[in-house]
């Protein structure tokens, strides 16, 4: 009997999610309304920020964040190479210039020393993603006193020292795409410690019924998505616990294999949005053998940004990309699927 495919990622949906969404649909009030307001309150309170603005994606959240900080043509925005293209796109939406920073190969987050070397007076903001669920070096990066946009798309629920990621930036953004830490199908949010910025961004999110015209957007979230978001956020602690439990099991089972496993640090908590192993040879052969056993593994980023931009200086990002593979880890993995993943990985490396 051929065993079923274990996807690289999958949303974790419950009967409650379905019920709350259908209640909103039945009410007929389907566009931005009270559920959106409640979701904004719930997430921003959880983060420790004063307010939030729900959007239709993480990408539009990044776009509005840059507009609110008045980033435009001629300005540079720092971001790491090892991330998806969404932050790069947002920088281009406002006509600004990306300043690509290499990564620390151990944490796979923005490298402080490389940032220090490249940052300059034209650098008007830093987009700091906490990649794969591990908080970046927030304290060091805040020393530059540049406006910080924390990108928490991978790391909702993680803590740096005693504070949640997302609470440090002047603005923080989140994504609720199907397979992120929590989901609304598609969706995003911006949170801030500044209520002025929150009001400014709320104004930019919708275009209708305004006294004065300026360019505005339609980046609103629907009320049924927000109802789902509220239902999902109530399960975030459970989701994080499950991800951490699977990671612990992988750590134990893989400890004698010739692979490098994800590291954890005393001063920050990992929510294991991804479990990334590093190997020194035959990455694609290993990936193919796992795929043949029905286990879908992916490169942790499809292509690092320096490859798209033909930048030859991000050497650690390149080397990390050459040797890293993301294996399935998510709350809806069954015990049987976890067993299959463990035994296949072990079989391949013995």
Ligand X SMILES: *Cc1c(COP(=O)(O)O)cnc(C)c1O
CA distances from 280 to 67, 258, 261, 293 (A): 42, 9, 12, 22
Shortest Cβ contact with ligand X: which residue? 58
**Contact code string over 70-99 relative to ligand X, x by CB under 6 A:** -------------xx-xx------------
What is the number of other CB atoms lying within 10 angstroms of the CB of residue 39?
27
3-state secondary structure at position 26 = helix
CA distance linking residue 187 with residue 192, whole number of Å: 17
Q: Minimum Å distance from CB 280 to ligand X?
A: 27
The smaller minimum CB distance to ligand X, of residues 93 and 112, is found at 93
CA distance linking residue 17 with residue 25, whole number of Å: 13
Q: Minimum Å distance from CB 231 to ligand X?
A: 18
Residue 177 engages ligand X in binding (rule: CB under 6 A): yes
Closest by CA position to 229, among listed 187, 198, 172:
187
CB 87 within 8 A of CB 99: no
Residue 175 engages ligand X in binding (rule: CB under 6 A): yes
Residue 59 engages ligand X in binding (rule: CB under 6 A): yes
The smaller minimum CB distance to ligand X, of residues 52 and 129, is found at 129
Residue 232 engages ligand X in binding (rule: CB under 6 A): no
CA distance linking residue 157 with residue 166, whole number of Å: 9
Residue 104 engages ligand X in binding (rule: CB under 6 A): no
**Contact code string over 107-146 relative to ligand X, x by CB under 6 A:** ----------------------x-----------------
Q: Hey, which residues does 151 pair with through a beta bridge?
A: 129, 173
Number of residues that bind ligand X (CB under 6 A): 14
The footprint of ligand X on residues 142-161 (CB under 6 A) is 151, 153-154
The smaller minimum CB distance to ligand X, of residues 157 and 348, is found at 157
3-state secondary structure at position 329 = coil
Residue 229 engages ligand X in binding (rule: CB under 6 A): no
The smaller minimum CB distance to ligand X, of residues 83 and 290, is found at 83
CA distance linking residue 264 with residue 225, whole number of Å: 33
The smaller minimum CB distance to ligand X, of residues 62 and 227, is found at 62
Residue 58 engages ligand X in binding (rule: CB under 6 A): yes
Helix (H) or strand (E) holding 159: strand 159-160
Distance of CA 250 to the CA centre of its chain: 22
Residue ranges binding ligand X (CB under 6 A):
57-59, 83-84, 86-87, 129, 151, 153-154, 175, 177, 188
């Amino acid at each position: 009997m051929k065993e079923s495919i274990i996807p690289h990622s999958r949303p974790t949906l419950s009967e409650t999610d379905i019920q709350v969404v259908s209640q909103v649909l039945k009410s007929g009030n389907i566009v931005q309304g009270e559920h959106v307001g409640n979701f904004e309150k719930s997430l921003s309170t959880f983060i420790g920020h004063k307010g939030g603005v729900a959007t239709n994606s993480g990408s539009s959240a990044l776009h509005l964040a840059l507009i609110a900080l008045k980033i435009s043509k001629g300005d540079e925005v720092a971001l790491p190479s090892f991330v998806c293209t969404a932050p790069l796109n947002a920088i281009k939406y406002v006509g600004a210039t990306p300043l690509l920073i290499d990564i620390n190969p151990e944490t796979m987050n923005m490298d402080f020393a490389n940032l220090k070397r490249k940052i300059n007076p034209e650098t008007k903001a830093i987009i700091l993603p906490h990649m794969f669920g591990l908080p970046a070096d927030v304290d060091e990066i805040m020393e530059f006193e540049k406006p910080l946009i924390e990108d928490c798309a991978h790391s909702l629920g993680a803590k740096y020292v005693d504070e949640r990621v997302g609470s440090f930036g002047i603005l923080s953004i989140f994504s609720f795409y199907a397979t992120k830490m929590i989901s609304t199908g598609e969706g995003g949010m911006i949170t801030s410690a500044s209520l002025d910025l929150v009001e400014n961004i709320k104004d930019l999110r919708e275009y209708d019924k305004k006294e004065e015209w300026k360019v505005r957007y339609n980046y609103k979230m629907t009320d049924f998505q927000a109802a789902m978001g509220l239902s999902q956020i109530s399960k975030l602690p459970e989701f994080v616990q499950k991800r951490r439990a699977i990671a612990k099991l992988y750590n134990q089972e893989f400890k004698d294999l010739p692979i490098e496993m994800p590291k954890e640090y005393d001063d920050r908590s990992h929510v294991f949005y991804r479990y990334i192993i590093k190997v020194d040879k035959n990455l694609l052969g290993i990936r193919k053998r796992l795929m043949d056993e029905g286990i879908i593994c992916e490169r942790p980023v499809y292509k690092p940004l320096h490859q798209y931009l033909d930048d030859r200086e991000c050497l650690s990002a390149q080397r990390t990309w050459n040797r890293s593979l993301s294996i399935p880890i998510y709350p809806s993995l069954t015990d049987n699927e976890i067993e299959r993943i463990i035994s296949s990985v072990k079989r391949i490396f013995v």
